[in-house]
Structure formats: structure tokens, C-alpha cells
Structure 1
Amino acid sequence: MIVEDTKFAELDLNKLEAIKQLEQKLNVTLIAYDLSPSHSNHHKDAPIVINPS
């Protein structure tokens, strides 16, 4: 996968609430990975948990 082809979402509080409701409906936990250079210095494979259940 080429980084230029990756789509990024900008999440505000309304979008995060919609994601939380979808997670509850589907009984899943969604995770996202921060691919930004500043965050990748922390740990290459470290997940960012949006809504831990």
C-alpha cells in the first residue's frame, strides 16, 4: 500500500459518537493506526484505540 493512496478521516465528537454507537450495535471494538511521522516514532505498530470496550 502506498501512503498517498491511504484515506484519512478527520473525526470530530459527533463522528466519534456515531462510531461508538455502531460499535455497540455490532458488538465490536474498532481500532485505528496513526500513520503520521510524529506518532510512528513512538512505536511502529502501536494501535490507537478509539473506544475501548
Structure 2
Amino acid sequence: MSVIKEYRTASEVVGPLMIVEQVNNVSYNELVEIQLHNGEIRRGQVLE
């Protein structure tokens, strides 16, 4: 079962890295989807 969480706390983008603040209950290597302002979906993973 997957749980959808939405965060609007991205504070910085540096190259391929996105810093998202105030995130709870995520684990290293967890897969994520990021929706851009234009609606495009990008995939990523939790590094820390």
C-alpha cells in the first residue's frame, strides 16, 4: 500500500538535488515523485 504525501517546502535546487524541509516519516532510498509547476512528473529518491 502506498501513501501519498504532498510537501510544498522545497527550499533549494542544486543540480540534480532538491532540498525539501520539514519532511517526516521517510526513509533513505525511498522512491518519490516530484510534480513540477507545469504538471510534469519527475522521479527521485531520498538520500538523507
User: Per residue, is there more helix in 1 or in 2?
Assistant: 1
Q: Do they fold alike, i.e. is TM over 0.5? A: no
**Is the radius of gyration larger for structure 1 or structure 2?**
1
Greater RCO, CA 8 A, separation 6+: 1
TM-score by structure 2 length?
Answer: 0.27
